[in-house]
Amino acid sequence: MAQLTTNKRTKLLHLKQIKSNRLKDFKRKRNRDDQIVYLMVLRDKNSDSSSLF
């Protein structure tokens, strides 16, 4: 019975790790997308087509 509980615990820890890794990847990707958008906005502001702002 003790083996089962430790198995469940390690499985849960593993799932938590996977979840946190996915979250990190997602945040990294979102940060990259934000940077791209920011650069596009900067480019638009520098050009004459700044009608959005």
Residue boundaries of the structural domains of the chain = 1-46
- Cα–Cα dist 22/39, whole Å: 26
**Cα Dmax for the chain:** 71
Determine the distance from the C-alpha atom of residue 41 to the mean position of all C-alpha atoms in its chain, rounded to a whole number.
21
What CA–CA distance (Å, rounded) separates 15 from 19? 6
* Residue 40 predicted with pLDDT over 60: yes
pTM of this prediction exceeds 0.85: no
Q: How far is 3 from 29, CA to CA, in rounded Å?
A: 39
pLDDT of residue 45: 74
**pLDDT given for residue 49 in this prediction:** 54
